[in-house]
Chains A and B, each alone.
Chain A
Amino acid sequence: MFQIFGIGPLTWITFLPLLGMVLILLIPSGKDERSKDVSKSMFRWVTIIFTFLQLLLAIWIYANYNYHLAGINDPKGFQFVDKFKWIYLWGLPLLGNVRIDYFVGIDGISAPMVLLTAIVCFVASFSSFSVTKALKGYFAMYLLLDAGMMGVFVSLDFFLFYVFWELMLLPMYFLIGIWGGPRKEYAAIKFFLYTLFGSVFMLLVMIALFFAVGSFNMLDMMDPTKYNPNSILFGVDTTWRYIAFFALFVGFAIKIPSVPFHTWLPDAHVEAPTPISVILAGVLLKMGTYGLMRISWPMFPDAVKQFQWFIALVGVVSIVYGALCALGQHRVGKRDFKKLIAYSSVSHMGFVVLGMAALNTSGMEGAILQMFNHGTITSMLFMVVGVLYDRSHTRGLDDFGGMANKMPIYTGLMTISFMAAIGLPGLSGFVSEILVFLGSFQTYPTLTIIAATGIVLGAGYMLWTLQKVFFGNVPEKWAGPWDPTHKKYKTDDLNLVEFVALAPLALIIIYLGIQPNAMLGLMEKSVNHLIYFVNTGWWTMSAGL
């Protein structure tokens, strides 16, 4: 395996951003105007270089990924594993032996997420050109956030997972709170409180699991034969196991976010600066569903089976309610473009939950693919809004019109992302949604039929938006040349930086629409194994007790 200084690629990909952060903190901000400008562009380029290195590593990992290994609960099935002793203590009262490892590795569930994180962080660093104030702090926090997210997706030790999970709270708080819009303080603290509320319950479950198996290794926690008979989580279908499952589910559902825990998302999205919205929608939300797949599903298969219908219902409610809220942005209130996309995220993440609840291979594959696709599509949508906002300083849907004539390249790229979000065949969104429906229809036909209305509603709000913003007549204030004194607005087409940020995502969307196997092959083995494990494997192991 490829190693530098005896450290494997996953550790590098996680800690590279931290190195970048240290470098940024060491660069002085500069005294006079000229040196300030120099250091500003240095902050930008350091971030771009480090996220690019991260992306290269991710592509290398993708290229060298072994398609024959499954992972999930099999320690030998994980790839690019790094395992070091972290905290080892023997013979303590009560705790006995404390063993916490630095244990990272990926399988078919986490590999797409690692790739997604690297891609989104790279393109969002281009989108960060629109941020102008306090750049040193901004990019330091940006890279810290990057490291935290990557760490969540590669950790195989629950303690490590939790540390990374919480590590990204503070940078996100600052990124929304300092560089955000008018109601940034409210949005930032709401995000912080909601997420912490969810994660403290996760903490309690983590401790209970630790007492059950005597280590923090996630793979041990998936093995029912390793559970201590005196532990409250021992057994099958016990009340404590249900409670623990629900505590975890709430923690993850807040992050996804599923209705009724979704209210922080529109606020956070509306107030956050464009690149942070991109990261929030593109990567952060996936941490919730990833947590369900990595932790809840294989550790509590009995509870998943028991509440399967309920989980599917949560997914369907999110799909329909999110879509209705997004549609409602055309009718009521301030008609905020960003809020519309935020609600569409709630709706699209609902598909992921529905696919997972189906507990069959196509549903699960659809869910993971949907996570990846939603990451790329919504990142693009938010950047599209950001481009308009940078030019007009408004996000009201009514303020635009006729952009297709003024900004043709932009309109082209935007149409791709809109069509992908609707689920047009030939683009990536279609594949994942159809897989989710194929899977969930086998299990819950009625719920799936209800969920399908989400697609219709989605087409409604997306096409409506497209029509309002791009077609029709150009409003008065957009006509004529740009004039800073008279509050006329610039309507020039994409500049190079914006194009570099948008084009790769468009390519991925089209490519995965035509060739979804590029991603499905990656996850196939692991998904099959996960489904087998949840449906049969775990039960066989517990039956032997």
Chain B
Amino acid sequence: MIPIEQFLIELKKSIILFQPETALVVTFLVALIVDLIFLKSKNISGIILLIGFIVTGILLITAGNQNSVVFTKMLAVDPFSKFFKWVILISSFIVVLMSFLSKELYEKDRRLGEYFSLIAGMTFGMFLLAGASNLIMIYLAIETMSISSYILTGFTKEIKRSSEASLKYVIFGAVSSGLMLYGISILFGLTGSLNLYDINYAIAHGKAEMFPLLISGIMIIAGIGYKISAVPFHFWTPDVYEGAPVTITALLSVASKAAGFAILIRFIKVAFFDHTSPVAADTWKLLSTIDWKFIIAILSVLTMTFGNLVAVWQTNLKRLLAYSSIAHAGYMLMGVVVMTDAGVASILIYFVVYMFMNLGAFYVIMLFANKIGSEELDDYTGIGYRSPLLAVCMVIFLISLTGIPPTAGFIGKWYLFIAVINSNYIWLAVVGVLNSVVSLFYYAKVIRNMFLRGVDQEHEPLSFSPMSIVMLLLLVIPTLVLGIWYGPILYWANKSVGLFLGN
């Protein structure tokens, strides 16, 4: 045991490094209390949230480039987690802004205080997940994030599909966390530790048998796979994405997925990789009897193929994007298969790009839903002539999701393929590009309904507030600019692949 003085010193150091998360907790509490004081005002806690997020961002900047663990190895503070924290923070920030413009949330005299403070709670959970390096911490962080998102999914509770989605989400969530917890207990039994670094040490010294290790590993990956909606753990995704308010769908599809990927990469890399090996390519050697790479490659192929093929048949836009987000998780899993620095960097790049284009697509859906009250593909007929600006932006987002230059989505996919090809996984790359072609079909269906159909009808123009247009431009400009000038993102992502790997 460490002596108490040393513990106090460590605690002091930890608290300093924990400032961004602390700011989020404070934001959460202040938002709750302020909402109770100013009962009449609907927006006040949202504004508190925005301020809180900005403060968190400033604290993230001032924290500098740390690479260490805090709270007795509970959390890692490293460039990798910081990168994901930025993605999570920015997407939560955008989602809060989106919420101000959502008609769905503001009708029926709802209490929005809870809504906003729960977003803060969810963000906090995702922040923890980005850095968690202890199995208990992983579990707690996932639950913090999930419980907030269960409630948020059912926030429009009088709408049947929303409460149904929430219930489904809870049940699926409970099963998967049960599985995960079981996996954790096996792993604990095998290695005698909950700490990922100690687990790594135990495995490296041959203290764990391979078969139980396989079982526990698969269970934990199943638990995380549920969060990133990888096939076959994806069943909740379409229903929840369709039922939840659009803003929450957007948050789930970007931020929660980012947190899931952060912990997936960290878990595999910290616990299972042989870090003593001088050859970087030999990292999977520790688990030489189990072909983990192949398992994840299969998972990736299933995820993207299933997501794309089912998306082709969808008629509801939220559902379509739900399946498309499953497919995108599949693309990103290709980076996990590679798991070299380049593979991880390509996932990071993909997330930045994915954040802008996916949030953008959901944002346009929300704005249209505000006016026409529907998310059905058929109701989009000729909408390109009713609101050209929004529809053109939607086209840009969809083209970017397909991965066609000169949009940001191309850069994301491109780097994924670069990483995959460099590791000689040519077959995986071929499956990946063929999937991109399939995905074009359903994205183009949306474009077709917006522009190719209903050209000759009478068009009653839709008008949108200047505020909402500004927001839209904030999302569409990065989507275009990152497509032709992506040097900084590339640089930043490559600098952020450093995980704290223990010593």
B7, CB-defined interface residue at 8 Å: no
A204, CB-defined interface residue at 8 Å: yes
What is the distance, in angstroms, from B9's C-beta to the closest C-beta of chain A? 34
A163 to B424, CA, bound (A): 24
B34, CB-defined interface residue at 8 Å: no
Which bracket fits the contact residues of B?
Answer: 35 or more
B399, CB-defined interface residue at 8 Å: yes
A461 to B347, CA, bound (A): 56
> Interface residues of B: mostly helix, strand, loop or mixed?
helix
Tell me which residues across on chain B come within 8 A of A170, comparing CB atoms: 395, 399, 404
A232, CB-defined interface residue at 8 Å: yes
B452 contact from A88, A188, A197, A200, Cβ within 8 A: A188
B86, CB-defined interface residue at 8 Å: no
Given that A87-B490, A207-B421 are known contacts, is A196 also in contact with B448, CB under 8 Å in the complex? Answer: no
- Complex A-B: 27 CB contacts under 8 Å: A87-B490, A89-B490, A92-B490, A92-B494, A93-B342, A94-B341, A95-B418, A162-B405, A166-B404, A166-B410, A167-B405, A170-B404, A177-B448, A185-B448, A185-B452, A188-B448, A189-B448, A193-B437, A196-B436, A196-B440, A200-B433, A200-B434, A203-B417, A203-B433, A207-B414, A208-B421, A232-B424
B292, CB-defined interface residue at 8 Å: no
B29, CB-defined interface residue at 8 Å: no
Given that A93-B494, A166-B404, A178-B451 are known contacts, is A87 also in contact with B487, CB under 8 Å in the complex? Answer: yes
Q: Which residue of B lies closest to A163 (CB)?
A: B405
Is the beta-carbon distance between A196 and B490 smaller than 8 angstroms?
Answer: no
A297, CB-defined interface residue at 8 Å: no
Q: Which residue of A lies closest to B430 (CB)?
A: A204
A188 to B445, CA, bound (A): 11
Q: Which residue of B lies closest to A140 (CB)?
A: B392
What is the distance, in angstroms, from A378's C-beta to the closest C-beta of chain B? 26
Is the beta-carbon distance between B341 and A93 smaller than 8 angstroms?
Answer: yes
Is the beta-carbon distance between B417 and A196 smaller than 8 angstroms?
Answer: no
Q: Which residue of B lies closest to A200 (CB)?
A: B433
A196 to B410, CA, bound (A): 13
Proximity bits, B422-453, A CB within 8 Å = 1, else 0: 10101001100110110011001001100111
Shortest 7 CB-CB distances between A and B: which pairs? A94-B342, A200-B433, A93-B341, A177-B452, A163-B405, A92-B494, A166-B405
Is the beta-carbon distance between B451 and A177 smaller than 8 angstroms?
Answer: yes
A163 to B407, CA, bound (A): 10
B340, CB-defined interface residue at 8 Å: yes
What is the distance, in angstroms, from B141's C-beta to the closest C-beta of chain A? 28
Q: Which residue of A lies closest to B344 (CB)?
A: A93
A203 to B411, CA, bound (A): 12
What is the distance, in angstroms, from A243's C-beta to the closest C-beta of chain B? 8
Tell me which residues across on chain B come within 8 A of A133, comparing CB atoms: 455-456
A133 to B455, CA, bound (A): 9
A372, CB-defined interface residue at 8 Å: no
A59 to B405, CA, bound (A): 30
Proximity bits, A272-283, B CB within 8 Å = 1, else 0: 000000000000
Tell me which residues across on chain B come within 8 A of A95, comparing CB atoms: 342, 418, 494
B235, CB-defined interface residue at 8 Å: no
A317 to B429, CA, bound (A): 32
Q: Within A160-181, which residues are at the interface with B (CB < 8 Å)? A: 162-163, 166-167, 169-170, 173-174, 177-178
Tell me which residues across on chain A come within 8 A of B444, comparing CB atoms: 173, 189, 192
Q: Within B96-147, which residues are at the interface with A (CB < 8 Å)? A: none
What is the distance, in angstroms, from A25's C-beta to the closest C-beta of chain B? 10
Tell me which residues across on chain B come within 8 A of A188, comparing CB atoms: 448, 452
A193 to B453, CA, bound (A): 19
Q: Which residue of A lies closest to B434 (CB)?
A: A200
A203 to B436, CA, bound (A): 12
Is the beta-carbon distance between B429 and A210 smaller than 8 angstroms?
Answer: no
A479, CB-defined interface residue at 8 Å: no
A184, CB-defined interface residue at 8 Å: yes
B497, CB-defined interface residue at 8 Å: yes
Is the beta-carbon distance between B437 and A204 smaller than 8 angstroms?
Answer: no
